[in-house]
Structure 1
């Protein structure tokens, strides 16, 4: 029974990695056409109703009305941190430096989540954890840093703004995951995601009113190619991807789940070449693999 539970969790983590690869490509395409802000809000609205319909047929509940008070306290906080702050920064990073490099920097999410778990939940961190984090950072640095010539200074290969945006996204996702653990416990992961999404919709709505950007949302609805990409990203991102990630941490350890999910920077290399015609060097592939190895070291050893 324990083995079956572990296999379910690990399978869900692998499925999550595939989903996040698809959604990163879809949202990069949509964000470059209509802007990252409209994409953020529209995909959450789509996901809210997709989860509602799915949950209604699965357990007779369209909305998470059976969640505990504790869930309604922590999950909305998680949604604001993860979906509004984290994804707002990440989606803009998609536009600035692309999904491939952004998702590579997002490989820092598991170590960051563990760090916040250590601070907030008193979870244990060992010396090997910090070594694993250093290895992950070195792999990322191999990709984003370069020399113009052999004796020249080391410079950022990609725009600093994009790198900082992606790092902010990783911090938001990591901290959001910790608050998800506080609120979800044994509650249904899909409905838990719906609560987080509802908080995200509310947060983005306030932002759109403050910035007077609603016209951008209506304009995005008229772009058929962007809407197709947003629809695909909504299914594989906040619906399947996020829900499967929560299902995974329910049925296996956070470390194993996070390690499997961290394979996204490697999985996304081929789609980036096929869809966006990116030119990827052996050094960048090596850096992505090293970053993944660092996450493995962080959790497995």
Structure 2
């Protein structure tokens, strides 16, 4: 058993990461329905700073990131604003509108979108496998969200279009944020780079809330014990455990293998969605989620 764990440490870490993302998305969906997605966003970022800072202090002896130059701070901050402020703001609202299961299914577009942005911005090669993977993933998502057209309509969307577009915006922000992270990180420590992104995201939301007058709602949310428990669980399994195990996965196995295993969240989330949220999941939706994940596998393996 010990030999098996040692030989497959990266793959096992990636699997743990996928489980963490599942807990995170469902926790934030539940919290967002209680106190609003915007409040959940900034509270979990403050929690993420505390957790990631503690992790850095244990590893390196300092709380806030050190050793990054102005170039890295600039691009990682832009990445944080795109990924956390724009991407997650849209994703968390999608959690409230269509739920974590459908939102995370559409988020499976994030890896192929990252490949597309890498081709546009970094000149990375965009192969036929990337295009095929994106097409397969889109097919799986379409199978889930599209229903039988009614009379007089060519297309029928089974879920609120607003939620679908919000989740797609979240996937776009995540994909673009990942590419910008790669552009700015270089050989800098990934955990410290994540901390810079979180700090930028926190500042971005703070400024936004000053202009929108949202701070009173955040303060009110802090007094909601049920919501704070769920946000705490989401922050622990997401920015803390999730990020830590994802870095461990990439260290001990290839990025393609790790990314493929971590992308199975749309499938993993089906059982808890049925058991905890009493969602009705059809065979067609389960098959569609599986096809969407297969698209990500094609993206990295062929």
Matches within 5 A, 1:166-245: 166-245=167-246
Contact 2:150/2:156, CA 8 A, preserved across alignment: no
Deviations 1:187-227 (CA, angstroms, capped at 9, x unpaired): 32222211110000000001101100101101100100000
Counterpart check, 1:161 vs 2:137: no
| Cα shift readout 1:24-50 (whole Å, capped 9, x = no counterpart) | 000000000000000000000011011
1:288 and 1:170 map into 2 onto residues whose CA distance is 16
Choose 236-245 or 263-272, whichever is displaced more. Answer: 236-245
- Cα drift, residue 80 of structure 1: 0.5
Q: How far is 1:13 from its partner? A: 2.7
Higher mean C-alpha deviation, range 6-15 or range 258-267:
6-15
CA drift at 1:243: 4.4
Extract unaligned runs of 5+ from structure 2.
none
Contact 1:190/1:239, CA 8 A, preserved across alignment:
no
Contact 1:132/1:298 (<8 A) preserved: yes
Alpha-carbon offset, residue 65 of structure 1: 2.0
Q: 5 Å matches for 1:97-112?
A: 97-112=98-113
CA contact (8 A) 1:5 1:252 kept: no
Q: What TM-score comes out, normalization by structure 2 length? A: 0.92
The equivalent residue for 1:44 is 45
For 2:296 and 2:148, locate their aligned partners in 1 and report how far apart those are by CA, in whole Å.
26
Given that residues 189 and 243 in structure 1 are in contact (C-alpha distance below 8 angstroms), is that contact kept between their aligned partners in structure 2? no
RMSD: 2.1
CA distance in 2, matches of 1:125, 1:5: 34
Of 243-252 and 63-72, more deviation after overlay is shown by: 243-252
Q: Tell which deviates more after alignment, 115-124 or 34-43.
A: 115-124
- Tell me, which stretches of 5 or more residues in structure 1 are unaligned? none
1:78 to partner: Cα distance: 1.0
> TM-score, normalising length from structure 1?
0.93
Change (3 A) 1:15 1:189: farther
Aligned length: 298
